[in-house]
């Protein structure tokens, strides 16, 4: 199940359209895939579609956007930005079988159609008896998506001396609800957006065993520990400030003994797992579908 939108540029030039997509980030062939946010969808330039009277299919040379349902609502937010950018460059008439019909195009119409179809997909999947999916507060999902979507810009503003981490989703223990987290690696000065996350994955290089200490060309291995942002980051030497209008913590690369102690001692084998962002669904949609 997917949301399908057909765009018919006023002046259809397949080469110019392909060059435009190639010049934008995250496009490769017919796929848009943003590693920062986990959002993906397909875009197909169709020069010679089969002609017909089917109002739900292409009728003439077009560009077809197709976005999978049963996804977080942020898939629609990011896809709409790309559709709007395309229409700004290539004015087009539209065919939206879901909601807007033959137009005019609007952000509100796109998101209304996407969200309605997405909810319907949730209900269909629930009726089919699939296991209850992992879910989180949609406000948290959107906040994490917005941070990751703008992360490259935030990193440029922060400069080379501070690392702006991506927000990831973790399952703290088997069967637990997913929580937003960032990674903090020992020796790397890192910005921690404390208002957007609940967990921090602290990372250190694995200490080599005695027999491996003198091995050559050994690839470094890493160890991980999950801590609670509320109780685990109250350390002297970590400065408070703001980034992108949000409160944040600024860690030094190397710091006081208290911080060094956080990264020392024996760490047990981690029990948490990472979960892909497209698998963390909106809790309100999951509830509505049950």
Walk along the chain (290 residues) in steps of 10 and give the mean pLDDT of each run: 94 96 96 98 88 59 96 98 98 92 93 95 92 95 98 94 96 94 93 94 79 59 91 78 88 82 89 96 93
- Domains of the chain as residue ranges with CATH: 2-127 (3.30.1400), 138-278 (no CATH)
Q: What is the pLDDT of residue 51?
A: 57
pLDDT value of position 209: 59
pLDDT recorded at residue 57: 59
User: For residue 34, what are its two tokens?
Assistant: 């943003």
The pLDDT value recorded for residue 216 is: 60
| Predicted pLDDT of residue 218 | 60
Q: Distances in Å between the alpha carbon of 173 and those of 176, 199, 226, 270, 273?
A: 5, 12, 10, 9, 8
Q: Which residues contact 97 (CB under 8 A, 6 or more apart)?
A: 4, 55, 56
What string of DSSP letters covers 181-199?
EEEEETTS-BEE-TTT-SE
User: pLDDT tens digits for 255-283?
Assistant: 778 888 888 888 999 999 999 999 999 99
Three-class SS state of 243: strand
């Amino acid at each position: 199940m997917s949301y399908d939108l057909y765009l018919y540029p006023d002046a259809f030039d397949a080469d110019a359209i392909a060059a435009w997509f190639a010049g934008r980030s995250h496009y490769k062939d017919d796929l848009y895939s943003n590693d920062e946010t986990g959002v993906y969808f397909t875009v197909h330039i169709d020069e010679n579609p089969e002609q017909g009277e089917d109002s739900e299919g292409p009728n003439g040379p077009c560009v077809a956007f197709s976005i999978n349902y049963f996804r977080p609502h942020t898939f629609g937010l990011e896809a709409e930005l790309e559709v709007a950018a395309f229409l700004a460059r290539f004015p087009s008439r539209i065919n939206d079988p879901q909601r807007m019909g033959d137009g005019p195009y609007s952000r509100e119409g796109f998101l209304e159609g996407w969200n309605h179809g997405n909810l319907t997909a949730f209900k269909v999947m629930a009726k089919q008896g699939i296991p209850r999916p992992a879910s989180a507060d949609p406000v948290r999902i959107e906040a994490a998506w917005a941070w990751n979507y703008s992360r490259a810009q935030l990193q440029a503003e922060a400069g080379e001396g501070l690392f702006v981490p991506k927000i990831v989703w973790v399952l703290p223990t088997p069967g637990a609800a997913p929580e937003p987290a960032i990674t903090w690696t020992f020796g790397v000065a890192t910005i921690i957006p404390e208002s957007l996350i609940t967990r921090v994955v602290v990372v250190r290089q694995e200490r080599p065993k005695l027999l491996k200490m003198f091995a050559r060309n050994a690839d470094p291995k890493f160890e991980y520990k999950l801590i609670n942002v509320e109780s685990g980051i109250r350390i002297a030497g970590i400065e408070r400030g703001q980034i992108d209008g949000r409160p944040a913590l600024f860690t030094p690369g190397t710091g006081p003994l208290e911080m060094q102690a956080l990264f020392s001692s024996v760490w047990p084998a981690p029990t948490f797992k990472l979960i892909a962002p497209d698998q963390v669904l909106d809790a309100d949609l999951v509830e509505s579908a049950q």
